[in-house]
Structure 1
């Protein structure tokens, strides 16, 4: 996390104050672990903000605390929830789909019956960046064409490498066979591209991504952020109805003079099905009653709104979250209600 983010969290925490609502008898005191991803992306600072919010608002009166930890991302987070090494996790929509269906990298583990959704958080925006000497068209086709090259596409078992594998499979690329993979988090991957150790990287995260900002500030026009055209968007999605068009506006990153059309999938907050309903209710309520706090920490959360809270969720909602949403008038479709 950057020093700027830390200062924002401290300032926002002070503004929130230490008062909590009246203690609820049904709440059970607990200290929860929230799994995020590598520190150079968006999951970690947003996770720290979520955990700080819960600790400040719910620990004094209700005894509910939360701490954010870094991890390898969505793929590992599924395991952390399953093995009770974490009770909450931020996760890509794709991995929620895998968890719900027991498909993809979770085929051997099977459907994750003990996982539930809490809330949609923000869109995970795909940032495919390549050495400018290789950017002939300025589109994802430049990346696809670099078979045999060293590429940094995420840590082993991470959501990053999983989503990159799914996207590039739509272009008949097997990343494990066709590229020389260099494993690492977002910061090390960006440094590897800057230093010429890899030809390209992909860092899906909420805009702006800290590692990408640092890369463009240091490398300038020697690296290129790639576009997707309409046909390429359809190829990348592969019929999942998960990835959609997303515009990274000009000026988002240092030296970015033109808007870039890329793709994005949803991120969401997941939890364990057997957590107390009251605790999940209070956490969900606290998040939506304090959105300005989260939005002051990271711009990715500025898209959060109660109207979008359940959009695109891949797993059934936790009953505690359902209770809050129904209180504020959100209509819950049958597909998001857990089986009795």
Structure 2
């Protein structure tokens, strides 16, 4: 009887262990590396992690990792294996593959396995000016006192545009951090400020809620001259701005590597697009992501992501295949 009881117990135990282990074994774990905690892009990572978990009924679990920036994210490709997902502007992927600064001296072979998945909200240029003019042209900035910030992408891009369109000598540039822009505008210390952010941008929402503002809208020719990606901020995004604002942006893409298997890449990409509208209801910045932005991806798509786009009928440039 003792032997029989032990045999029965062993069978029951094995069955119980199998029951407990089976779900864990079926779970796919993904590491997502985006930005520093407290930033908009870190919050996007939280939302995306939750969306993928919900979209796969918990079969794919995303672990969010803090990052010090896009360069670090791309550099990490040299040490990472498996299901590593990271975010970066596509221009940095091109630089990594060409061993250009900040990747000079790094073996390009380490980056050849980078593969695109899907776009996430871009850094969009906002030119905010006091007054209820609605939409302004770049030429309307002449004679104005504009805060563009220091050291950021937005500051560099704003100065580049002012130089490109021969406005640099006609605009007085305020020497202050962009964080002081809304208060300085409300207090009349400046005529406008420039910020690069996902939209709707909190600092622009705050400003538009307390005073009349206008936004600069660029022409098709001006956008083409900048060489930057075209971005439309839909009318109604900000109080008092009823028409679409045509501007530029710095695309940001979620990438992985060839080490990720095709099914996982397919599942993640499908879950992102299927949950995008639900995410946008909670955080409006996701509403700015459209299938057309797939064309901003540098390099090539992961075969799993490509399979989803072909199934969904989303147009993919030949260079990404």
TM category, shorter:
0.5 to 0.7
Shift of residue 204 of structure 1?
3.3
Corresponding position of 2:206? 214
The unaligned stretches of length 5 or more in structure 2 are 1-21
Q: Which runs of 4+ in 1 moved over 6 A?
A: 22-27
Indicate which of 227, 244, 263 corresponds to 2:217: 227
Shift of residue 292 of structure 1?
3.1
Give the 3 Å change call, closer, same or farther, for CA 195–115 of structure 1 in structure 2: farther
Give the TM-score taking structure 1 as reference length.
0.64
Q: Write the distance in 2 (CA, Å) between the matches of 1:60 and 1:252.
A: 34
Give the 3 Å change call, closer, same or farther, for CA 70–189 of structure 1 in structure 2: farther
Shift of residue 214 of structure 1?
0.8
Give the 3 Å change call, closer, same or farther, for CA 290–253 of structure 1 in structure 2: closer
Give the 3 Å change call, closer, same or farther, for CA 116–195 of structure 1 in structure 2: farther
Superposition map of 1:70-81 within 5 A: 76-81=69-74
Bigger fraction of residues in strand: 2
Q: CA contact under 8 A between 1:150 and 1:182: conserved in structure 2?
A: no
Corresponding position of 1:301? 286
Q: Write the distance in 1 (CA, Å) between the matches of 2:24 and 2:295.
A: 29
Q: Write the distance in 2 (CA, Å) between the matches of 1:80 and 1:129.
A: 31
Indicate which of 137, 140, 144 corresponds to 1:139: 137
Give the TM-score taking structure 2 as reference length.
0.67
**Two-structure CA RMSD over aligned residues (Å):** 4.3
Q: Write the distance in 2 (CA, Å) between the matches of 1:301 and 1:140.
A: 27
Q: Write the distance in 2 (CA, Å) between the matches of 1:272 and 1:102.
A: 14
Residue by residue over 1:237-273, the C-alpha shift from the partner in whole angstroms, topping out at 9 and shown as x without a partner, is 32636336x3642x4323x165364313463422242
Indicate which of 180, 188, 203 corresponds to 2:195: 203
Tell me how many residue pairs correspond in the alignment: 286
Give the 3 Å change call, closer, same or farther, for CA 120–169 of structure 1 in structure 2: farther
Q: CA contact under 8 A between 1:152 and 1:198: conserved in structure 2?
A: no
Please say if 1:127 is aligned against 2:121.
Answer: no
Please say if 1:151 is aligned against 2:151.
Answer: no
The unaligned stretches of length 5 or more in structure 1 are 1-21
